[in-house]
A = this chain, B = another copy of it.
Amino acid sequence: MNAGPAVTGGPVVTFGDRLEQVFDTQGQLCVGIDPHSWLLGEWNLPDTAAGVESFGRAVVAAAAGRVGIVKPQVAFFERFGSAGFLALERVLADARQAGLLVIGDAKRGDLGTSVEAYAQAWFTPGSPLEVDALTLAAYMGVGSLDSPLTLAAANGKGVFLLAATSNSEAANIQRAIVADGPYTGSTVARAILDDVGARNARAGAADAGAASARPATGLGSIGVVLGATLDLADFGIDVRQAPGEFRTPVLAPGFGHQGGNIMDLPGIYGEYAGGVIVSESRSVLSAGPHRIEEAIERRVAEVGAVRG
| Chain A residues near B (Cβ < 8 Å) | 1, 34, 36, 47-48, 73, 75-76, 78-86, 88-89, 105, 107-115, 117-118, 120-121, 127-129, 137-144, 162, 165, 167-181, 183, 187-188, 191
Contacts and interface: CB of A to CB of B under 8 A. Distances in A.
Interface centre among A47, A109, A140, by most B CB within 10 Å?
A140
B188 A118 contact: no
Given A34-B114, A139-B173, A142-B172, 17 more contacts: A75-B117, A76-B114, A76-B117, A78-B118, A78-B129, A79-B120, A105-B114, A109-B109, A138-B139, A139-B162, A141-B167, A141-B168, A141-B171, A143-B168, A171-B180, A173-B173, A176-B176
A179 B177 contact: yes
25 contacts: A1-B79, A36-B117, A78-B118, A79-B121, A82-B82, A82-B83, A82-B89, A83-B128, A105-B114, A109-B137, A111-B167, A112-B167, A137-B139, A139-B139, A139-B165, A139-B170, A140-B173, A141-B174, A143-B168, A144-B165, A172-B178, A172-B183, A172-B191, A176-B178, A176-B187
A187 B105 CA distance: 28
B76 A173 contact: no
A127 B48 CA distance: 12
Nearest to A124: B79
Nearest to A178: B176
Question: How many copies of this chain sit in the oligomeric assembly?
Answer: 2
A175 B176 CA distance: 9
A242 B82 CA distance: 40
A191 B1 CA distance: 41
Contacts of A108: 75, 107
Contacts of A183: 172
Nearest to A38: B113
A144 B170 contact: yes
A169 B143 contact: yes
Contacts of A175: 179-180
A178 B171 CA distance: 8
Contacts of A188: 172-173, 176, 188
A241 to B, nearest CB: 21
Contacts of A111: 165, 167
